[in-house]
Chain A
């Protein structure tokens, strides 16, 4: 069953170990994750973009992310854009330091006072961006702010919806586009086993009537086959 977090913002910290600013990115991300916005955020491991983190790549492709960089190299923003999807927002620690007139940051393992202040300021900036992004409808198929809010679930989660015909009735299913995409990315064939798993996944996000499961499986399998036959969008 695919793991589809709802209304979450991904935090991608550069975590640069060579600079105090890198330590600030890491600690600021953790402060947002654990203290400021624990229900609204997840962290995404930047090296996993290259080392085989399919889940991390998929999340950042479909959900809004905030790149948290320590310096002008912007490794987190660039890596996210290169290997997954363009970040919805970004912060750069040394820009915040300059804006707020903080003295030089020092320490890699243990930040000085300025470093601690930078952590607090950066975390607050990130939390504000999280709030902004969660208030913005997000098109998870396009990986960008939605221009067609009617294409998302009425619950306000921002989950994409799509319609299909089941046993002659037209039904609207939340999250189906994302589920289909994840199955395609997982290389699932269009067969009966996949149909059963699709139905299980769809049930997580939709209250389906009991009975007539063969019709549901057939409809989902048909939709999945069409989806797989559609050329994939070019990676950003």
Chain B
């Protein structure tokens, strides 16, 4: 099966951007390393051929840190198939007790929120894989 591409927000100035990145690392390195691949948004911004080919070749899951939804927009702009677009703020609304703080270094709430988000993404990855196997 083609690996599912995980594209996080590249924001560096706000906590939610850091949460999106940490969640992407958690999925691609810890939870579903064999089924997913990480894509740097900057490569898509520049129209890197290999990056565009990667997102065009299979499903993509985006993680946005704010309402501008750069990750989702960029993947769509590059012809990718966004099967699920996560927004950190929406996940935070479901986990109000996990208040993220910090940018360069997330606090415990931020790390736990990223983990919760990663678990949700992992479930989507599992569903996609199951669908693919049944196809």
Contact = CB atoms under 8 A, between A and B. Distances in A.
Interface of A: 13-19, 22, 26-27, 29-31, 33-34, 43, 45-53, 73, 75-76, 78-79, 82, 108-109
A102 B21 CA distance: 26
A27 B12 CA distance: 9
A134 B72 CA distance: 36
B42 A47 contact: yes
Contact of B74 (A34, A47, A73): A47
Interface of B: 8-13, 21-22, 24-25, 29, 38-43, 45-46, 48, 68-71, 73-74, 77, 103-104
Contacts of A26: 12, 104
Contacts of B40: 14-19, 22
B25 A30 contact: no
A17 B24 contact: yes
B21 A17 contact: yes
A46 B11 CA distance: 8
Given A29-B12, A45-B10, A47-B9, A79 B46 contact: yes
B30 to A, nearest CB: 10
A22 to B, nearest CB: 6
Contacts of B25: 17, 108-109
A15 B73 CA distance: 18
Given A15-B12, A15-B40, A76-B42, 16 more contacts: A15-B10, A16-B43, A18-B38, A18-B40, A27-B104, A29-B12, A30-B103, A43-B12, A45-B11, A46-B10, A46-B42, A47-B70, A50-B70, A75-B48, A79-B42, A108-B29
B42 A16 contact: yes
Contact of A78 (B11, B46, B68, B103): B46
Nearest to B10: A15
B24 A75 contact: no
B48 A73 contact: yes
A53 B13 CA distance: 14
Contacts of A43: 12-13
B39 A18 contact: yes
A50 B73 contact: yes
Contacts of B46: 73, 75, 78-79, 82
A51 B11 CA distance: 12
B25 to A, nearest CB: 5
A47 B10 contact: yes
A21 to B, nearest CB: 11
A53 B22 CA distance: 23
From B24, B39, B42, name the one whose CB has the most chain A CB atoms within 10 angstroms.
B42
A19 B51 CA distance: 14
The 6 closest A-B pairs by CB, nearest first: A47-B70, A51-B70, A75-B42, A16-B40, A15-B10, A17-B40
Contact of B68 (A17, A29, A51, A109): A51
A150 B104 CA distance: 41
Given A15-B12, A17-B8, A79-B42, A47 B71 contact: yes
